[in-house]
Structure 1
């Protein structure tokens, strides 16, 4: 487990400190989920954040990011819509010249909704994830320089997450014989729609992983102001396709920081990303999120502590744009027993 796995007793929402790493939406989500209390301890929510959330990158995170062949990014487009997306490159395309800085090189993949978003002053959420080792680290901050496909991030929040719910699979560069066919598919125009088609529904119905970008850029968010992107994992079918414009997903027990749910409490717009690990497609969804905190609906999702319903506003599908393919999946230990029954 990461350094977030052991947390002290929850605090209250009364008079949060100016340096508290959670905004009001996160504190509200913590309290609603039982990770915070209404007592008079004085600082609100989850006091583990003052230890687990840093304003710099520890050395092991700096080394970790430099090993990655891809990184998940979250940001806002010109209309304020959050999107989750990928940057891909040779290991070293993400590097940290000093503990307060992360530099991301390379170029956007075709159809990236955030291709033009990384201007100076833009808020960015980053997730480094190694499926092979089930390691993941988060970094949020502000772009301080950009040009020639490279942008520099000043770190405002940095923290690790535990390996729970991460499915193991090995990424490999696309074999040469397949590159020509993949390039032909990737050259096709990106599909843009307001509803899922049959292929989209099939991808989601068999997905065991997705990523979600959310944001709170309100002035009163203080040090927690910014964009966040996080990982979600489950057995195939854990995201329920209710209809062509609605999805429902479980929210499992996590680090109790509630960064994503807290953002959604404050601002329900979000961006989802599904990866076709066999074909290299990316499915981007712009959604409005609705948190379902309790009720009989939870019974349909094994292990769910809450649900999130996503109302789809825009669909973008880019074919074969990821120059990686992944090995067969090895499911996370949390799902092994479910898989065998």
Structure 2
């Protein structure tokens, strides 16, 4: 398979950016360069997206550890030393699909430097966590990443996960106040985890089972939206950067185009999981990206 599948190509053609996408797509490879390996070893947070082999639902999950818990162990392999018990139906403990190891997407985002790295590939369980054999490795620009200058590790006891089929007032408020979330998507030959950011209010809760967000112009590759065009399953992860609370959503998403070409993604909820104090990290207050459009109404 080439860099882009049919879903991504269709959107590139629809928006007239195929040439630019081909140029940017040259940055996608399988090798983990030394600068990327060094970046990974500095991170205390990794987000992983995958489809649950049991239910088919797509989830985005957060894993944390002391810097070095994620590291490159080969030119095309990362190892993650982490207790995956916090995953919702972790792919590391579920039966493997018939066509081999589970496909996962990962993203490491550093708010301190506004840098991010994505690595997609196949997951293999280990005694201390898992490895991922890379199919795609690439970085994105810092656009829409909020800067958080520092973090501290705090002693927290995660609450019991609450499973919901509708968003209550608390969950809706959590989403409306968010400046960042992570999006997991899948396609026939892989999975992907990406970042979405904006000023608080950029994600709208339109009903207890539906929310929307604008798709801001980006790198023109349309990896996530291309996946959604061919497979609407999606997982969203919102996190509270101060308290460590996480809100995971799984459902389906579709892209809507306005007459002026503006894009909105509409997500319909199947299930939500809210976990108080799930992550042991407390980050400093954000400095919003200057690229964020104003969300004031």
Structure with a larger share of its residues in helix: 1
Secondary structure of residue in 1 paired with 2:146: coil
Count of residues in Structure 1 that have an aligned counterpart in Structure 2: 291
Q: Match of 1:62? A: 37
Offset of residue 82 of structure 1: 1.2
Alpha-carbon contact 1:280-1:323 (below 8 Å) kept: yes
Structure 1 match to 2:146: 167
Of Structure 1 and Structure 2, the greater strand share is in: 2
What CA RMSD, in Å, does the superposition of the two structures yield over aligned residues? 2.1
How far apart in 2 are the matches of 1:114 and 1:293?
34
The answer to whether structure 1 residue 293 and structure 2 residue 257 are counterparts is yes
Among 119, 123, 130, the residue aligned to 1:151: 130
2:42 is equivalent to residue 26 of structure 1? no
- C-alpha separation between the residues in 2 aligned to 1:245 and 1:340? 24
Q: 1:295 and 1:117, CA in 2 relative to 1: closer, same or farther beyond 3 A?
A: farther
Further displaced range: 207-216 or 166-175: 166-175
| Structure-2 separation of matches of 1:33 and 1:251 | 13
TM-score by length of structure 1 reads 0.80
1:107 to 60, 78, 83: 83
1:324 to 269, 281, 286: 281
Match of 2:113 among 121, 133, 136: 133
Q: 1:50 and 1:326, CA in 2 relative to 1: closer, same or farther beyond 3 A?
A: closer
Secondary structure at 2:32 match in 1: coil
Q: Quick one: structure 1 residues 340 and 238, their matched pair in 2 at CA, closer, same or farther if it must change by over 3 Å?
A: closer
Q: CA deviation at 1:171?
A: 4.8
Match of 2:160 among 189, 192, 211: 189
Q: Encode CA deviations 1:184-212: one digit per residue, 9 max, x unaligned.
A: xx2x4211111001110010011110010
What are the ranges of 5 or more consecutive residues in structure 1 without an aligned counterpart? Answer: 1-18, 38-44, 218-224, 299-304
Residue ranges of structure 2 left out of the alignment (5+ in a row): none
Do the aligned partners of 1:131 and 1:166 also contact (CA within 8 Å) in 2?
Answer: yes
- Asked if structure 2 preserves the Cα contact closer than 8 Å seen for 1:196 and 1:245, the reply is yes
State how 1:1-341 maps to structure 2 within 5 Å. Answer: 19-36=1-18, 46-48=21-23, 50-77=25-52, 78-108=54-84, 110=86, 112-117=87-92, 121-143=101-123, 145-175=124-154, 179=155, 182-183=156-157, 186=158, 188-217=159-188, 225-295=189-259, 305-335=262-292, 338=294
Between the aligned partners of 1:194 and 1:149, the Cα distance in structure 2 is: 33
Q: Which has the larger radius of gyration?
A: 1
Alpha-carbon distance in 1 for matches of 2:137, 2:182: 18
CA shift, 1:272, in A, is: 0.4
| 1:145-174 Cα distance to aligned partner (Å, 9 max, x none) | 313342111111111100000001145334
Once the 2 structures are TM-superposed, how far is the Cα of residue 116 of structure 1 from its aligned partner? 4.1
